[in-house]
Amino acid sequence: MILFAELVNPNVNISSIAPELMVAIAGIAAMVYDSFFPNQRRVTGVISLMGLAFSAILLGMMWTDGHHASAFNGMIAHDNLRMAFSFVFLFVTAMTILISTVWVDNENVPVGEYHSLLMFATFGMMLMASGNDLVVLFLGLETLSIATYVMAGFRKSDLKSNESAMKYFILGSFASAFLLYGMALIYGATGSTNITEIAAKVADPNFPALLLIGAATLIIGFGFKVATVPFHIWTPDVYEGAPSPVTGFMAAGPKAAAFASFIRVFVLGFPLIAGVQASGYLHETWITVLSIMAILSMTVGNVAAIMQNNIKRMLAYSSIAHAGYALVGFLGAGAASNPVERDAAIASVAFYMLTYAITNLGAFAIITLLGQKNDRRTEFDDYNGIGFKSPMLSFTLSLFMLSLLGIPLTAGFMGKVLVFRPALEAQNALLTVVVVAAVINTAISAYYYLRLVVVMFFKERTTQWLEPKMPVGLAAALLIAVIGVFYFGIFSDSVIEKFSRSTRTVGAVQK
């Protein structure tokens, strides 16, 4: 009877996915416009930016009014995890569009397609944060991935770009397969794809072994998407070959999206349920596995970054290390003893991804500008002694490096403090070790972040230097990034408060 009622009156609640729809509509509009009036580079960009802005407004309204309804039979969540991460995605995409202006002006690439692909990727990312069902998560992930595969290979005539896209595509599909397989196993073990229901069922699964294997394959799949060691091998090649703005986007956006899903499935889907052994075993296992992955990611990422001579590769390894730092906050959320602490920890990961995104995109903006056509100038040697030739650009890039390093008064510092906090709060010996590893790694990372500063300011330039002309869009992106780095570093109060304010849990939303 109930089933029948659901069939005739499906629980469709369009308003609950309005921000996502807005982005998708803007993407379609950009695509359609481009097919009628090709090569109007600015218009598609403006359409996309407007779509993002409206989506942000809708998101803000959902955030403030707080009312929520079950949507799509509990497949869509309405909690701070979704809100905070969605905000990060919108921001990342808007910044990417601004940064791409330079690239779009200098190279003959089909911009309309690029903008619509970006919007579809954003739609996918937002679904990954809002999906409360494994199927929706997978849907979002694939929408995102297919768009990014294409974007990575967008520079058709460039071999490296092609290599990048091909590698990303093959390895990405492989990881998706793992993910899907894990989802199937979880379904087999719990009889549901809904994360709330899975969480209720972990205590008493049909086949405990299936649950564990499912969780393991999920870790492989997500581990690939967030680029943690040992599933990181693809990252440097893909990041190096992809056009710089796309690399910046990939490091900031899809990584954050994968974290959103990863957190939702593991922290909310596989919680520790007091007094139930099965849940305890699963929980302990994934905390241990992720702790090891976090330590490995930070160490391998930072040590390998030291040895790079290409800035994009250096930032690729740095992004692996940053995935490790974000995992620290993730583990803090997983080990939290009550929902309030857990939500604060989730908010801290979202905040961390925001600070990483703003800093990293700022850095990629400058790399894009200096790299010029086909990213020709991306070696450390190309930056020799430009410090006092282009002081503004160099100091700005140094600022981003210091923020990635986590120097106080920058966004990166607040991000680090916030993710280390919950991990220490858990009072768990293993997590304390992870934090100490993170701290030591931060000191290691000083070496290569400073290397760029050293190269720019402490060395002399022997060859000629022509400062590239800066387009307005890129200047705007840089300005936003610089203000953001300081704002989130000094006045982070309001943002943190916003990210952790709607502290409803998914469990309370559904059913």
Closest contact distance (angstroms) between CB of 262 and another protein is 24
Task: Tell me how many residues contact another protein (CB under 8 A).
Answer: 36
Residue from 160, 377, 389, 459 binding another protein (CB under 8 A): 459
Residue from 496, 505, 506, 510 binding another protein (CB under 8 A): 496
Closer residue to another protein in complex, CB, 5/439: 439
If DSSP codes are grouped into helix, strand and coil, which group holds residue 307? Answer: coil
Q: Does 417 bind another protein (CB under 8 A)?
A: yes
Asked if the bond preceding 205 is cis, omega within 30° of 0, the reply is: no
Closest contact distance (angstroms) between CB of 405 and another protein is 8
Closer residue to another protein in complex, CB, 47/434: 434
Closer residue to another protein in complex, CB, 72/447: 447
- What residues from 226 to 285 belong to the interface with another protein (CB under 8 A)? none
Closest contact distance (angstroms) between CB of 496 and another protein is 4
CA dist 114 and 42 (Å) reads: 12
3-state helix, strand, coil in the chain (%, to 5): 80, 0, 20
Closer residue to another protein in complex, CB, 53/446: 446
Nearest-CA neighbor of 266 among 207, 229, 227, 214?
214
- What residues from 418 to 457 belong to the interface with another protein (CB under 8 A)? 418, 420-421, 424-425, 427, 435-436, 439-440, 442-443, 446-447, 450-451, 453-454, 457
Q: Does 224 bind another protein (CB under 8 A)?
A: no
Residue from 492, 502, 505, 510 binding another protein (CB under 8 A): 492
Closer residue to another protein in complex, CB, 72/457: 457
Residue from 37, 207, 458, 465 binding another protein (CB under 8 A): 458
Q: Does 402 bind another protein (CB under 8 A)?
A: yes
How many residues are there in the chain?
A: 511
Closest contact distance (angstroms) between CB of 443 and another protein is 4
Closer residue to another protein in complex, CB, 9/462: 462
Closer residue to another protein in complex, CB, 467/497: 497
Evaluate the CA torsion angle 349, 354, 357, 362 in order and state its sign: negative
Q: What is the DSSP string of 329-363?
A: HHHHHHH-SSHHHHHHHHHHHHHHHHHHHHHHHHH
Closest contact distance (angstroms) between CB of 457 and another protein is 6
Closest contact distance (angstroms) between CB of 491 and another protein is 8
3-state secondary structure 55-95: HHHHHHHHHHHCCCCCEHHHCECCCHHHHHHHHHHHHHHHH
CB atoms within 10 A of CB 446: 16
CA dist 101 and 476 (Å) reads: 11
For the record, the structure tokens of 83 come out as 């809100």
Q: What is the DSSP string of 375-407?
A: G---BGGGGTT-TTTSHHHHHHHHHHHHHHHT-
Closer residue to another protein in complex, CB, 83/402: 402
Spell out the residues 6+ positions from residue 221 whose beta carbon is closer than 8 angstroms to its own. 175, 176, 178, 179, 180, 182
String of contacts with another protein for each residue 74-113, x by CB under 8 A: ----------------------------------------
- Give 339: exposed, middle or buried? Use CB within 10 Å, 0-12, 13-18, 19+: middle
What single DSSP character describes residue 205?
A: -
Closest contact distance (angstroms) between CB of 414 and another protein is 8
Spell out the residues 6+ positions from residue 105 whose beta carbon is closer than 8 angstroms to its own. 41, 471
Closer residue to another protein in complex, CB, 223/387: 387
Closest contact distance (angstroms) between CB of 420 and another protein is 6
Q: What is the largest CA-CA distance in the chain?
A: 80
Q: Point out which residues bind another protein (CB under 8 A).
A: 387-388, 391, 402, 407-409, 413-414, 417-418, 420-421, 424-425, 427, 435-436, 439-440, 442-443, 446-447, 450-451, 453-454, 457-459, 492-493, 496-497, 500
